[in-house]
Amino acid sequence: MDGKELRFVASSLDDLRNFPEEARRIAGFELRALQNGLEPQDWKPMRSIGSGVKEIRIHVLGEWRIVYVARLADAIYVLHAFQKKSQKTNRNDIELARKRFKEIGGI
């Protein structure tokens, strides 16, 4: 396999599979770019979740987000995938990603 391995934490893979087809296609392209050492097209750091945590932003058929951490040497961990329904990220989504980040040993 080329690049880093993708590891989905808890329900993040199932959540991603529930994205609409076009958003899922873009998500796959962005995650593949990450595996190959590239940055996603549209992302931002999510320091409120943890050091090195970033969010891929997908703007098709609504707003979709994939929260991940790639700074760990062994893999890219997808912590959470969800539809963003308001301008500010829902507190529950942030708390869930933060909890999963701690579970994988994030500080």
pLDDT > 90? residue 8: yes
Domains of the chain and any CATH numbers: 5-103 (3.30.2310.20)
Cut 0.85: pTM above it: yes
The CA-to-CA distance between both ends of the chain, in Å, stands at 28
Question: Which pLDDT tens digit goes with each residue over 39-81?
Answer: 999 999 999 999 999 999 999 999 999 999 987 677 999 999 9
Judge whether 73 and 7 are in contact, CB under 8 Å: no
- Give 100: exposed, middle or buried? Use CB within 10 Å, 0-12, 13-18, 19+: buried
Residue 65, strand partner residues: 57, 82
The band of 1, judged by pLDDT with boundaries at 50, 70 and 90, is: very low
